[in-house]
Amino acid sequence: MALSKDRFITLDIFRGMTICFMIIVNAPGSGAVQWAPLDHAAWFGFTPTDLVFPSFLFAVGNALSFSKNKFENDGAFLRKIGKRTLIIFLLGYLMYWFPFFHREAGGWAFNPLGNTRIMGVLQRIALCYFFGSLIVHYCSKKAAIIISVLLLIGYWIFLLLFGEAGKEFTMLGNAGTRLDILIMGNAHLYHDKGGPIAFDPEGLLSTLPAIVNVIGGYLAGAYIQRKGRNYESVTKLLIAGVCLVLVALFWGQFFPIAKKLWTSTFTLLTVGIDLVIIGVLIYAIEIKNLKRGTDFFLVFGRNSLAIYLLSELLFTVISTIWVKTGLSFYDWINQVFYQSIFPGAFGTLVFALCYMMLCWLVGYILDKRKIYIKI
């Protein structure tokens, strides 16, 4: 039982760090240009912010390695992952539809289903969890690696063959966008700032390489269980991580690293970095027993889905409520407080940190009362 307890501490800290950073990234202050490290790469390239989402998928896969043997039969397994997939996908869909109304001509109008985004962060997590679970449950580790390689190379080839000539890796010329528009329609895709350009960074085709992030997390968790928490495990995790990063950088000369397109090189880069992070955490927490400050992240990690939903829905609410005509509470508090005291990009960071702490406080209360919301 001690192993299980240790597992949850290490994994929850990793997951908690991811959720903590995710909230900071998703809730920047307004009134000034966003602090650069908290913004995604415009298209090609990589920033610390780009690591957040794939790290959560890595954590999902890591957790799978500890729960794989809990199911007595295939029927129980399929029912469990089917239920989880459906709930997470539906929560994501409803989150983008929320608050179900919008302001129009001085009043309120219903948000029609015909304009509701179908895909999104939770929807991608649901699909990656579903297909990743099927792969690691029914396939050997060697087969899972082979499938991962095929997904990464196959995605690259698909973009080259079916993208617009000379624009295979651009926002509107890539095959993924064309497929999304064909299957879901323009109105059901993401429109940045409500503009006319339809492009979904969590589209259908780009979900394929994202599945590999889940498989990577699973393989790392399975290896840690098999070899134990020791110097050898840490060393090999670090070596594997560095090797994947080097492969990503080399392949990136031909297939650019791009989070919004979720290129195969982006997958390899993020899995590599996550292997290094998890190796460092094992060294610090399991071997050196350095746990000071880890309780902060455990609050996020133990209720990760609930706190993430809270952060997104609350942010939508404060962005919808008007203090006065045309000025939301979100813009108002940034204007009169954060930008007045901390003008510029630093003010957007301070707001994000304060908002994260508000969400942490809710998680802390839940944790103190032993309330853990699971699916």
Examine the fold and report which residue of 289, 322, 338 is the final residue of a domain before the chain moves on: 289
Specify the 3-state DSSP secondary structure of 374.
Answer: coil
The one-digit pLDDT tens for each residue of the chain (375 residues) are: 333 444 468 888 998 999 999 999 988 888 888 887 778 888 999 988 999 999 999 999 998 888 766 665 778 888 899 999 999 999 999 988 888 776 776 677 787 777 788 888 999 999 999 999 999 989 999 999 999 999 999 999 999 999 888 888 988 889 999 898 999 888 888 877 656 677 889 999 999 999 999 999 999 998 988 887 788 889 999 999 999 999 999 999 999 999 999 999 999 999 999 999 999 998 998 888 887 888 899 999 889 889 999 999 999 999 888 887 778 899 999 998 999 999 998 999 999 999 999 999 999 999 899 988 887
- Residue at 340 is within a domain: yes
CB count within 10 Å of CB 365 equals 11
Helix spans in the chain (H): 2-26, 52-67, 74-97, 121-138, 141-162, 175-184, 207-227, 231-251, 264-281, 294-302, 304-320, 329-333, 339-341, 345-368
- Residue at 225 is within a domain: yes
Give yes or no: residues 116 and 206 share one domain: yes
Res 133: pLDDT: 94
Give yes or no: residues 235 and 87 share one domain: yes
- How many domains are there within the chain? 2
Give yes or no: residues 285 and 309 share one domain: no
Supply 183's token pair. Answer: 């299957």
C-beta of residue 289 within 8 angstroms of C-beta of residue 232: no
- Residue at 48 is within a domain: no
- Residue at 3 is within a domain: yes
Give yes or no: residues 299 and 282 share one domain: no
Each residue of 48-92: pLDDT tens digit?
A: 899 999 999 999 999 888 876 666 577 888 889 999 999 999 999
Q: What is the pTM of this model?
A: 0.89
Give yes or no: residues 12 and 133 share one domain: no
DSSP 164: P
Give yes or no: residues 62 and 6 share one domain: no
Give yes or no: residues 32 and 98 share one domain: no
Task: Tell me which residue has tokens 């039969």.
Answer: 73
Give yes or no: residues 309 and 199 share one domain: no
Res 6: pLDDT: 45
Res 195: pLDDT: 61
DSSP 38: G
Give yes or no: residues 209 and 300 share one domain: no
Res 186: pLDDT: 83
Res 193: pLDDT: 62
* Selection from 194, 211, 193 nearest residue 202 by Cα: 211
- Residue at 63 is within a domain: yes
* Selection from 120, 127, 128 nearest residue 309 by Cα: 120
Examine the fold and report which residue of 239, 257, 289 is the final residue of a domain before the chain moves on: 289
Give yes or no: residues 205 and 230 share one domain: yes
DSSP 48: G
Give yes or no: residues 268 and 330 share one domain: no
- Residue at 44 is within a domain: no
Residues 6+ apart with CB under 8 A from 68: 136, 137
Each residue of 25-43: pLDDT tens digit?
A: 988 888 888 887 778 888 9
Res 146: pLDDT: 96
Give yes or no: residues 170 and 246 share one domain: yes
- Residue at 190 is within a domain: yes
Res 363: pLDDT: 93
CB count within 10 Å of CB 36 equals 10
For residue 314, count CB atoms less than 10 angstroms from its CB and return exposed for 0-12, middle for 13-18, buried for 19 or more: middle
Examine the fold and report which residue of 289, 315, 334 is the final residue of a domain before the chain moves on: 289
For helices 121-138 and 52-67, angle between their N-to-C axes, nearest 10 degrees: 40
- Range of 145's domain? 56-289
- Residue at 50 is within a domain: no
Q: What is the 3-state secondary structure (H, E, C) of 246-272?
A: HHHHHHCCCCCCCCCCCCHHHHHHHHH
